[in-house]
Structure 1
Amino acid sequence: MNVSQTMETEEDLLTCLHIKLYNPQQNVKGLYGLLPLGARSRHSADDPLRLGRDAKACTFALNDMRVSRKQLVLHPYRTPQSPDMLFTIQNLSQKGKLSVNSSALGYLERMDLPNKALIRFGEYEMLIIRESGEAKASFEVGFEVLAVPPSRETCACVPNSTPVMDTGSNGTESFPAEPTRLGPLESDETLLFES
């Protein structure tokens, strides 16, 4: 019998949830000690992912007494209209609110998780970015700790916000009548110039 006929096929490209965490107290020893930082872990799509303080009841645990025993859960799902694996997020904390891109979720309330979401609970900020894949039976999760709050890096927390382009101007200078004389404000260092 041919070896390729007896081997199980692996799914090529798994959906991955990149979870980036920040807490102002994160220098406390062991706060993220129960998380698999810097490595991706594979999970079955028919099991929800729970995050909280209780390492026995949750898939991933935070070593923090201020976090609920079961804080939140991510449920993977698929729709007939889309090949992508999607997720909902549900608040499991009876005591604390959970916000997703500034939308508050009370106890047991859930909502669809956008492709990029800023989650807040307690002092935690969690940026979740979904990277699409073709797999149907499993997905991956990767954890990372951020040095600055993700709310400073993204406008996801402010609905209907428009990013502002930094022109290098302090705003007190007037614009010249003919802006084409200025030339480019930025240059590409990879361009080759003739001498």
Structure 2
Amino acid sequence: MNVSQTLETEEDLLTSLQIKLYHPQQCSKGMFSLLTLGRRIRQDADDPLRMGRDGQTCIFALADQKVSRKQLSLQAYRTPQKQGMFFTVQNLSKKGRLVVNGTGLEYLERLDLPDKALVRFGEYEMLIVRESGEAKGSFEVQLDVLEVSPFTETCVCIPTTNPVMDTGSDYTRGLMSREPSECDETLPYLT
């Protein structure tokens, strides 16, 4: 067997960013019409991935006048302490604020992206999910549109028990007996 056939290639091990976009008026306004949706796009790791309305400087252009020319940037990086490729998100908008998992970013502020992040700007919401790979020179991106807000999909709801209201019913009287279940023999008992 040839040595080149046994080596793993970068194509097999690319880090992947799944970006799922949502806007409440996406159907009527066609704001995602300039994007390549549902297809994996290979990106050089040393080039920032920009999103905004300027199709000349942004790899992902949004057809919306309310979006800044350059809205945000995703930049790949590596560290000597950890294996894999990681990403930062930077707010490139002078007018709008970028919110990442509840943390607000002003102009030129950046934040490390966790493996799963909810990014908001204006009325846009993006769910970004990173799948780790071993390639060092490039990564892949796939854009999709969500029908519902990713915020409602990612909201973790903790089940709670319904509070019991003291209505004086037999049920609550049974729970609240007049006698203590434990008592301290040194304290006087009042009836």
TM-score (normalizing by structure 1): 0.76
Number of the residue aligned with 1:122:
122
Number of the residue aligned with 1:71:
71
**C-alpha root-mean-square deviation of aligned residues, in Å?**
2.3
CA deviation string 1:31-74 (max 9, x = no partner):
11111101010000011100000000111101111100000000
- 1:41 is aligned with what amino acid? I
Number of the residue aligned with 1:10:
9
Alignment of 1:1-195 (within 5 A): 10-11=9-10, 12-155=12-155, 163-165=157-159
Distance 1:60 1:112 in 2: 20
Any runs of at least 4 consecutive aligned residues in structure 1 with deviations exceeding 2 A, and if so which? 2-5, 169-172
Structure 1: state its 5+ residue gaps: 156-161, 175-195
Distance 1:55 1:30 in 2: 15
- Which structure has the larger Rg over C-alpha atoms? 2
Distance 1:27 1:41 in 2: 24
- 2:143 is aligned with what amino acid? F
Structure 2: state its 5+ residue gaps: 165-170, 172-191
Number of the residue aligned with 1:178:
none
CA deviation string 1:94-115 (max 9, x = no partner):
0000000110000000010111
Report percent identity of matched pairs. 60
TM-score (normalizing by structure 2): 0.78
Distance 2:117 2:127 in 1: 6
Deviation at 1:10, TM superposition (A): 3.2
Q: What SS does the aligned partner of 2:127 have?
A: strand
Distance 2:142 2:17 in 1: 6
CA deviation string 1:116-167 (max 9, x = no partner):
1100000001100001111111000001101110110113xxxxxx64249x
Distance 1:41 1:82 in 2: 25
Q: For this pair of structures, how many residues does the alignment match?
A: 163
Q: Structure 1 residues 170 and 108, CA, compared in 2 at 3 Å: closer, same or farther?
A: same
Q: What SS does the aligned partner of 1:82 have?
A: coil
Q: What SS does the aligned partner of 2:120 have?
A: strand
